[in-house]
Structure formats: C-alpha cells, structure tokens
Amino acid sequence: MEHHAEVLSGGVWRQRPATWRDLVALVLIVAIILLIGSGASQMLAPLAAGQQPEISLAPSALPNYALRTTMRMLAALVASFIFTFTYGTLAAKSRRAEMVLVPLLDVLQSVPVLGYLSFTVVFFVSLSPNRALGVELAAIFAIFTSQAWNMAFSFFQALRTIPYDLDEASRSFRFSGWQRFWRLEVPFAMPGLIWNTMMSMSGGWFFVVASEAISVGKLQVALPGIGSYVARAIAERDLAAVGWAIAAMTVTIFIYDQLLFRPLVAWADKFRYEQTAAMVVPKSWIVDLYRRTSLLRMVGGAVGATTQAVARARLSFRSVGGPLKGWKLPSGLLDVAWYGLVLLIIADIGWNLLQFAGAELSWTDLFDAISNGGLTLLRVAILIVIATAIWVPIGVAVGLRPVWAEKVQPVAQFLAAFPANLLFPIAVYLIVRFQVSPTIWLSPLMILGTQWYILFNVIAGASAFPTDFKEAAATFRIRGWRWWRDVMLPGIFPYYVTGAITASGGAWNASIVSEAVSWGPTKLNGSGLGAYIAQMTEAGDYPRIALGIAVMSVLVVGTNRLLWRPLYAYAERRARLD
Amino acid sequence: MTDDKSAIIDLRKVCMAFPKRSGEPLLVLDDINVSIRAGEILGLLGRSGSGKSTLLRIAAGLIRPTSGAVLYRGVPLTEPAEGIAVVFQTFALFPWLTVLQNVEAGLDALGLPREEARQRAQDAIDLIGLDGFQSAYPRELSGGMRQRVGFARATATRPDLLLMDEPFSALDVLTAETLRTDFLDLWVEHQLPTKSVLMVTHNIEEAVLMCDRLVVLSSNPARIAAEIPVTLPHPRNRLEEEFGNIVDNVYSVLTARTISSLGAFKKTHEGLAQPLPPASVNRMSGLIEILAAPPYSGRAELDTLASSLALEINDLFPIAEGLHILEFAELKDGALKLTTAGIVFARSNTDERKRLFREHLLQFVPLTAHIFRILQEREGHRAPRTRFEVELEDHLNHDDAERTLRAATAWGRYAELFAYDDKARAFSTIGT
C-alpha cells in the first residue's frame, strides 16, 4: 500500500538516517532471496540430472532438506491462491457454476488427501518426463489439496456476504469488474482468507512430510526433504535422527510463522470490515521493522504504487465485444439445458465407475472396506470423546485467565501446525519395545496432531466469554456442575464444535499414515480403513484404493452432515441473543 | 449542458413490485412522478418502510423499476451513470482504504489521469473540511468525519445529481446538525460542484430546514401524498412561525395517510392483512402514561411529543400507531388523543392493565384474535408459527409479515392471551 502520509499532511518529510534496523532488514531480504533462489534451482535440478540423490541422515543435511520442504509449501500456497481467486469467483458469480462447483468443493473437502496421493503421483509422473519432478509436483499437489478447498470456500463465502452498502457504492461509482475485484472483493475476503490459509497450512506440513517419501507399487521415490529424512531414519531404526528431524521441523515452522504468517495477519488487520478498533491488534516484528525502516518502505512504496495502479486500471472487456443481445435464449430454457448436461455427465461418470468396479471388485471387498471403516469410525469417536474430556476443562481454565491464555494459545497453535507424523516413530518404537497391542495403542496417533484444534478453539471461546456473564454467575454463586452446564459449556459450545470438526476431519486423514506403521523391518498393523488404504497403496491396487477412499469420504461426509452440521447450527441458534 | 429550469432527472409513472412468497407481486411504489430540476434540493419524506430508499436507488440506476421510466438528461437510465453520485446512510466507505484513497476510488471509473484524480480528490477533501485526515483509515474517524468522507467521495465526481440516503440519520443530534449546516453553507454559496440534490429522510424538521421542495410519500404502497414547496430563505430558523406551520402540515399529511390506510386494512381480508407496527408494550404503556399526565392531560401534538421525547417519527409513529390500532388512543390531525380506555389503562395496576390489553387484543386486533381462536379450536391447543406465517404472507411481504407476527406474539404474550415456544416455534394456550 502507499505511504504518502507525511507528504500530504503537510508535515516535514525528512530522510531518516540509516539505522541498525536497515541493516537487519537488508540482511533479511538478501537471505530470503538467496534461500528461495537456491531452493528453486535445486527443485528443478533433477530435470537435468535425472538421478535421485540419496537421502543422508547427517544432521548437517537437515537445513537443506527443511528448505526444500518449505519451498514445496510455498509453491502450493501460490497455486492455492490462484485456484481460490478463480474458482471462488466463478462459483460466486455464476448461479449455474455454483450449482456444480460448491457441492464439488464440499465433497473434495472431505476426501482424505493422503488417500489419493498414489493416483496423483502416478498421474504427475506420467505427465512429466522426469520421475523426480513428477513426484515433486505430486507432493506440491498434496499440500495444495489440503488448503485450496478451504481457501476457496472462505473466498466464496466472503463474496457472498459482501456488505450491501459497499456493493451499492461500488456499483454506483461504476467500478469495472477488475476494479471491483481488487478494490472490494479481495480486500473484504482477506482477513478470513489469511486465517483459513494459516489454519490449512497446519495440515500442509503433515501432508508434505507424508508425501515426500512414497512408494506406490513398484514406484519408489524419496524427494529430498524432512519427510524423506524421517522415512530413512525409520528404515534405519535411527531414533537420534528422528529427534534431529523434529528439531529441524520445529525451527522451520517457527521461522515460517514469524516471517510469513505473523506479518500477513498483522497486515490483513486493516482489511477488517468492522469499523470499531480491534481489542487486540495483531502484532508482528517484521511489520514493525517494515514500518520503521525507510529503506524497506521505499521498496514497499514502489510495490504498493504499482499494485494500486493495477487495481485502478479499468480493464473492462465488456465494451470490446458488446453483449450478445438479440438472440439470447430464455433463461429457463438455458437452465434446463445446463441441468441436463450436468446430469448427463454425472450419469456417464457413474456408469463408468460401476463398470470398472463391477469388473475389479466383489461384494466381499465392499464389506471388507466398510467393516474397516467402522473400526476407524469407532476410533475417531472414542478419541474425540477422550480429547474433549481432557482439553475442554484445561482450555476453559486457561481461557478464563488472560495471562495464561496469551502464553498458551501460541503454543497450542504451534502444536496444531506441527506435523504429528514426525512423532510417530517414537510412539512406534515404544510400542515395539513394550510389546503392547497395536490395535489399541496405534489409535492415539490419529489424534496426536489434531487434538490441539479442540484446545485452542476452547481457549478462544473461554477468552471471548463475556465478563458480565461471568460476574452474573459469580454474584448468584452458581458453581460446580450447574456452572458448567448453564454458564460455561453453552458459552464455548460453538467454538468447541468448530475445533472438534477440524480435529475429527484431521484424524480421518491421519489414520492413513497412523494405522499401519513400521520401525525398520518391523511392521505394525492396527487394521481399520486407514491401514486398508495404506496397504492397498503399497501394493499398487488401484481399484481397492479407490474403494477405500470412497468409503472414507462417505463416512466423513456422513458424520459432517448428520452430526457436526446440526450441532453447529444448534450452537449458533442457542448462542444468539436477538 | 441543460439550462437551469429543465429537469436533471425525471421519474415517470414509476412502479415497483416485489414478489410475495405466493409469487404474486406486492406493490411497493405506485405511480410515482417526480422530477428534479437543476439548482434545487428535493426532499423525499416518508415513514421507514415507505419505499423512499427504493425510489432513491431507482434514481441512482442501482435497481430498475417494474414499470415506468427514469430519464436522466432525457435519456433512459438503466444502470449507474456518470454524473449521479450517492451518499449512503451507512457511509459505505471501504475500511481498507484511507480517506484519500476512498475519495479517489470514487473517481476510478472516470479513467482520469492519476495526477488529475489526485487533485480532484484533494480539492473535495479541502472543501468538505477533511484536510489533515487524508491518511486516516475510516475506523479511526468519528461518525461525522466518516460521513464527510462520504460527501467528499460523492462530490469529487462533480455530479449533476447528488443522491443522499438519510445521510444524517446514523449520526448523533449535534454532529448531524453541524454537518447539515456545513452542507447548506456550501450549497447556498454555490461551492458544491453539484447541480441538484435528492435527499431521502424521515426527519421532518431536517427536510424543512434543507429542502426547496418536499415530496411526502404514504406507505403500503408508497404514493405521493403531497408536494410541499418550501420557499423560506436560507438560513432558516426553526422557531419561525412559518417553519412550524410547514412542519405541522407535514405531520397532518402523514397522520391522515396513516389513518386512512389503517382503516382500509380493517375492511380487507377480515383485517388479517393489517401490518402491525413494531411497538413494544413497554413503550406503548410509557406513552400512555406521559399522555395521561400533565402538561398533556390526554392530548398532544405529535411534533411537540417528538421534540420533547427526543424521538424521531420513525420511533414515535409505530408507538402511536400501535395505540391507535388498540384503541387506547386516537391519531388525528397530527395529534394523539387518549381514549377512555387509555385513561383507564394509565390508572390501572399490572393485572388490570393485562386484562384490559387482552380485551382490546381480542376486539381490535384481528390477528391476535385469530391466533387465539385457532388455539381454542385445535385439539391439543397448539399451532405452529409457520401456519400463521403462510397466512400472513398471502397479504404482506416477507419482512412485514415477520414484523407483524413478532408484534402480535409480543402483545399476546404480555396479555397472557397465548404462550409461544420459540424453540418449537409454536403457539399454545395458557394454563391448559
């Protein structure tokens, strides 16, 4: 954005002397440019070499691996934004497109990302001349799928809830579509979009780790990255290396958060639509550095001026061709044609699937997948109940104490972002060591990474609980169970539901990597739908992978529709006062 | 350019209808003929929900009328056009743009060179008194300053027609007065780069203070009830007798219209079509008590009431109308007079008041009587809310039906005529 404040308000505009801040900023910029450049060049290197480098277990190799992993995240992020802006806009602008795009997005959100990794790997490898590049693309695609649907949904919903008055102002000032997009739609969607990106990024780390080292049937690839490093460590039974990987990931996520998301959130705060001042203004030392450093501001100002100019351009295509008046089909007829086309395509796909399944699968396969699904469903349910029993009281206790909440909340968010699959080897090591039942003890791994969503949502809910309710409860001496039932639980319920939805969705995804694990040559199988999909992936049995994914998707969509959505609607209705 | 006497914009036989749930059209604007001439401020007055904001949006090209024509400089207006600018009630500033950027955003569509756009924005900001706030974001500003940005953004486009949609109603009394006089000063001194103004308001004094001509709209559907010229010279004085006469006149027009439309509803559809005003029992009781006590002793002029209670007509009219429907008071010639029942009500205790209220609900409000009767007739003495929603939406649009049913529910609950369970969304009888 532009910073012409000093010039115009008549104040004296003086060049500030270079300070230590400028130096820090300069070092930071050069470092980031170098890192991105080297990461990108390495990524494209295999194209020339055509040879997979061996994964080294030396800790000194880790910084480089972390960089490679981060580059995949960045690439996926860029792809997700492009997808979001096009898909979201299309769905919001066209009624007919919406009819197809939104339900599609809804289902895609529920399909386990790791389930179809095998398909995408094969697809991308077949596309590109080089195997490593194909797998690279597949890994990026896996991260992309873990965030793009969320982001597109957030953008679509923002476009649908554009305030009436801003819409009318934009129309009455005759913004072109392009101007409207950059002046109104993108800024309005920004805070929600950034928040959603940050949340789905947490899942992204999980998937990048899982997708770097993959074997589908005979195809075995290990991309240089932290995930492959851990996979190698598991194969070699090297617990110390696992420890190093965890440390490296921790540092990476921390840096990523500080350099990318903190600044983004602090910057996006100005796009908040509410006209009141925020209670807590998001802070970021990077943004502060930017605001205080004249050098950075000069660069930023130039960038801002360019983007402003781009946003101001009318770029109206309407006048070029002119609307095709005269021979327009009546809207009703067009609708019928459109519905017909969509139905035809769906019927065709369905028929082909049936043909395929009929040839390859039998009823016992279906029964097998469903019974495995039942087991995983049971696990998810039990784990959510246990996590709720543990984290809701703790979250409330923390959330009601602002000093604690301020300290615990970032930790909880960090834990949610941390890829729990890096911790699996430790748990597996312990299970092997103590010879306990994998069917039971592998289960907690599913929720290891996602339980934190419950914690930090409950903390957020308890922190936001109105003070006067608390005081009212205190003056009437409402305590014990009554306090939980009548005061606190209804207050945090909407927040809890939000957290639990994310946690259970994440658990389903995690089941694919947590129900069947290995430690060197030892293989543990906890059975369940996740283990089923993992096994079939290893065997390269595509029809059964597809069956597994389908069953899992149906289960996830089913629980969302039958349990979480009604609960959420109920929570929203109860919490309203008007 | 047009000469001063000709119309800038001409609304001819404009009708607007929205579909009801049953699919039938519901008329909101009926045969509106208005033209705005260069050099005048035209005031569009009416109760809330009378369709005046819809009319303003039609003049802005934001929505198209169901029938009739809008001619802007003699050419049919089909979409927002260059030369028409809108000032919004809610300001409608982009929160992510600074004051200067907001004003410049209004110029985006004109495709001016960057320097010229900057200069124009700067001029408008100087004129409206925002100098020094260029780099501020809207959320840093008070309501008054925000609306100044709204004015600057609209006037920077140098419009032929400036449309103002209740521009001062979201502001507190003192701020609104400052903005009004500042605006008038600029207008009278011909400093505003705009040729004509159309202002929508429900504040009668504001309209008489600012406008050269008033168009008073009646409600349900909106028709032009009266056209009143205001020829007083600026600056106008509220205490002048002529000023007071015009205000009185407008009040009389509005009450006359209200009473006649209330009467008309009673005759059609067994009275079920009568929309009920959103008047709470507490407010109605409060007004009865104030009317019963000195200095009014049973009768008060609406404008006196409005200014002494610091209520705008949008707040006062629903209460007065509620009392009129319930026959606790009579609305006539811009005055409100307690009936005998109203006087008794004022003297009664809580239980007696409830009984009296119950009797009046059964006798004078067909909807509450209808709900009560249905509940009596039904086995189990319960009825879902949707049953009445559907019935009401045969006659009213969705919002009016919703408002009406809400008022009926609140009144019936107070009078202990029936109970309502919001969770089950069902009415039931009491004590059975």
| Residue B160, SS3 per DSSP | coil
- Cβ contact B132–A184 (<8 Å): no
> What does the alpha-carbon distance between residue A473 and residue A477 come to, in Å, rounded to a whole number?
6
The share of chain B scoring above pLDDT 90, in percent, equals: 48
Neighbours of A385 (CB within 10 A): 10
Residue that wins the pLDDT comparison between B122 and A105: B122
- Selected for mutation to probe chain B from A275, A306, A570, A576 (highest B CB count within 10 Å) is A275
B98 — alpha (psi -120 to 50), left (phi > 0) or beta?
A: beta
CATH superfamily label, A55-318: MetI-like (1.10.3720.10)
Q: B161-165 and B84-87 as β-strands: parallel, antiparallel, unpaired?
A: parallel
Which chain A residues are Cβ-neighbours of B134 within 8 angstroms? 5, 8-9
> What does the alpha-carbon distance between residue A118 and residue A139 come to, in Å, rounded to a whole number?
10
- Provide the pLDDT for residue A92: 86
The interface predicted TM-score of the complex, written ipTM, equals: 0.76
- Comparing CB atoms, the residue among B80, B81, B92 nearest residue A165 is B92
Q: What is the pLDDT along chain A (578 residues), one digit of tens a residue?
A: 333 333 333 333 344 455 666 666 666 666 666 666 666 666 665 544 445 667 788 888 888 899 988 888 889 999 999 999 999 888 888 877 887 788 788 777 777 777 777 788 878 878 777 777 788 888 888 888 888 888 888 898 888 888 888 999 999 988 888 888 888 999 888 888 888 888 777 778 888 888 888 777 677 778 888 888 988 888 888 889 989 999 998 998 888 888 888 888 888 777 777 654 444 556 667 667 666 666 666 666 666 667 666 766 766 544 433 334 444 455 677 778 877 887 888 788 878 777 777 777 788 888 888 999 999 999 999 999 999 999 999 999 998 888 888 888 888 878 888 888 888 888 888 888 888 888 888 888 888 888 888 998 899 888 888 888 888 888 888 888 888 888 888 888 888 988 888 888 888 888 888 888 888 888 888 888 989 988 888 887 878 888 888 888 888 888 888 888 888 888 777 766 55
Q: What is the mean pLDDT of residues B333-348?
A: 90
Instruction: Give yes or no for A166 touching B (CB within 8 A).
Output: yes
Instruction: Give yes or no for B46 touching A (CB within 8 A).
Output: no
> What does the alpha-carbon distance between residue A455 and residue A503 come to, in Å, rounded to a whole number?
10
Scanning B86-105 for CB atoms below 8 A from A yields 86, 88-97, 100-101, 105
> What does the alpha-carbon distance between residue A16 and residue A19 come to, in Å, rounded to a whole number?
8
Confidence label for B339 from pLDDT (cuts 50, 70 and 90): very high
- Provide the pLDDT for residue A374: 92
Query: B85-98 in b/e burial notation, b at 16+ Cβ within 10 A?
Result: bbbbbbbbbbbbbb
- Provide the pLDDT for residue A34: 67
Any bridge partners for residue B105, and if so which? none
- Provide the pLDDT for residue B269: 56
pLDDT in tens, B282-302: 999 999 999 999 888 889 988
Give the pair of three-digit tokens for residue B144: 């008054």
- Provide the pLDDT for residue A509: 84
Give the pair of three-digit tokens for residue A277: 């001042």
- Comparing CB atoms, the residue among B61, B94, B140 nearest residue A183 is B94
> What does the alpha-carbon distance between residue A78 and residue A76 come to, in Å, rounded to a whole number?
5
Q: What is the mean pLDDT of residues B374-392?
A: 88
Which chain A residues are Cβ-neighbours of B96 within 8 angstroms? 187-188, 190, 270-271
Q: Cis omega before residue B278 (within 30°)?
A: no
In order of B53, B182, B205, B206, the CA distances from B166 in angstroms are 8, 16, 13, 10
> What does the alpha-carbon distance between residue B99 and residue B79 come to, in Å, rounded to a whole number?
27
Instruction: Give yes or no for A4 touching B (CB within 8 A).
Output: yes
Query: Scanning the structure block, which residue is given the tokens 């629903």?
Result: B318
Q: Is the dihedral of CA B397, B399, B402, B406 positive or negative?
A: negative
* Every domain of chain A and the residues it spans: 55-318, 357-578
- Provide the pLDDT for residue B311: 82
A230 contacts: CB under 8 Å, gap ≥ 6: A209, A213, A241, A242, A245, A421, A422, A425
Q: Please say whether the beta carbons of B408 and B368 come within 8 A.
A: yes
- Provide the pLDDT for residue A327: 45
Confidence label for B323 from pLDDT (cuts 50, 70 and 90): very high
Instruction: Give the DSSP per-residue string, A173-224.
Output: TT--HHHHIIIIIHHHHHHHHHHHHHHHHHHHHHHHHHHHEEEETTEEEE-S
> What does the alpha-carbon distance between residue A496 and residue A455 come to, in Å, rounded to a whole number?
8
Query: Are the folds of A55-318 and A357-578 the same?
Result: yes
Instruction: Give yes or no for A425 touching B (CB within 8 A).
Output: no
Does CATH number 1.10.3720.10 belong to domain A357-578?
yes
- Comparing CB atoms, the residue among B62, B84, B146 nearest residue A168 is B62
- Cβ contact B80–A174 (<8 Å): yes
- Domains, chain B, ranges and CATH? 7-252 (3.40.50.300), 281-428 (1.10.10)
